[in-house]
Amino acid sequence: MEAKKRQLVGSIVFSVAVIVLVWHYQAPTEADAVMAASKLAATGPGIAGGAGPTPVTGPRIAGCPVFPADNVWNTPIDTLKKDKRSEDYIQRMGPALVLHPNFGSDPNNGIPITIIKSNRARLPISFTYGDESDPGHYPTPEGALVEGGWNSPLDSDRHIIMIDEARCLLTELGGVVKQKDGSWSGGAGIKMDLTSNALRQPDKTSTDAAGLAVLPGLLRYDEIVAGEVRHAIRFTTPKTQKAYVWPARHRASPREDPTYPPMGERFRLKADYDISKFSKENQVILKGLKKYGMILSDNGGPWFIIGEPDKRWSDVDLARLKTLKGEDFEAVDESDWQMLADSGRVDPVALR
């Protein structure tokens, strides 16, 4: 008898639960879809028919991610629509000007990377743009690799890039000079968590005019060995617009003419460009330029792409990339990708 009563009570409870669930059910909203896709991208690989694409492993250095895999630097742009201003930008940047690899086997040609320990001595550095630099002490530049070498002109870029391998903390310094009294000065300095998608504050420069980190856009020979470049490449052009687009945070031009490209504009090598005539090594670079493209990061030489110096580079082979011209590229529109104002994370819903 007691068993029958328990069974009857259980049936009643189950029926009420079903009624409640049915009564409160509502069709998923767009906000629900965004949340589900975001959680899927954050927690692991996607599944067939899931809300977002299957994430791939992003680039890594010294065991650290070079920003998360879903960061804008690390997201393919080969299927994005062409920017409506693409032709204007190419004309302003020089359609007949050639691509220039600004790196090579010479240790002074390119921007080197220094891996450091967490116990490295730290010290204050005075910056020209102190109000736009990150506060606090910095790892000492003493013994670090510097762009152009320590004998390079004092008014040159003199970038120093240091990665704290234990904390995955990126430190970038620009225009670094040791003073006669033993103190250090520089143009600007930034610190960024390589495990985070956080961007710098709006309108703040970095060691690049676009307010971006330099590291994620550097070509490295290790990527050639791996057979794939999985990020956008940093590049420069002489004249830009007085504007910036995500993920850039800073502008560096008085020109308000919209036919000039803004900082942060992304370009890709056209899909139909024939790369079969190039070496295996150069094809890795060119495939990367088609799939991930390049981000305008600074005012500088026309169509200059930047990499890390490495004795394994073949300067003769890299020079063959100069057969590419500005007209072989096109600007793309990333305007639908931004999910949060101060984040470099690409909205997973926009990638569906």
pLDDT (tens digit per residue) in 139-161:
999 999 999 999 999 989 999 99
Asked if residue 107 has pLDDT above 90, the reply is: yes
Answer for the pair 334, 88: CB distance below 8 angstroms, yes or no: no
**Mean pLDDT, range 325-330, rounded to an integer:** 98
Give CA 32 to chain center in angstroms.
28
Percentage of residues in the chain with pLDDT exceeding 70? 84
Amino acid at 55: P
**pLDDT for 352:** 85
**Mean pLDDT, range 167-178, rounded to an integer:** 97
**Mean pLDDT, range 198-225, rounded to an integer:** 97
Amino acid at 111: I
Tell me the torsion sign for CA atoms 34, 36, 39, 40. Answer: negative
55 pLDDT band, cuts 50/70/90, is very low
**pLDDT for 56:** 56
Q: How far apart are CA 79 and CA 252, in angstroms?
A: 30
Residues 189-201 pLDDT 10s: 999 999 999 999 9
Of 31 and 154, the one with more pLDDT = 154
Answer for the pair 213, 190: CB distance below 8 angstroms, yes or no: yes
53 pLDDT band, cuts 50/70/90, is very low
Asked if residue 13 has pLDDT above 90, the reply is: no
* Cα distances (Å, whole numbers) of residue 151 to 108, 213, 248, 273, 316: 10, 24, 31, 40, 25
- Determine which of 18-32, 304-318, 332-346 has the lowest per-residue pLDDT on average: 18-32
Percentage of residues in the chain with pLDDT exceeding 90? 83
9 pLDDT band, cuts 50/70/90, is very low
Q: How far apart are CA 39 and CA 33, in angstroms?
A: 10
57 pLDDT band, cuts 50/70/90, is confident
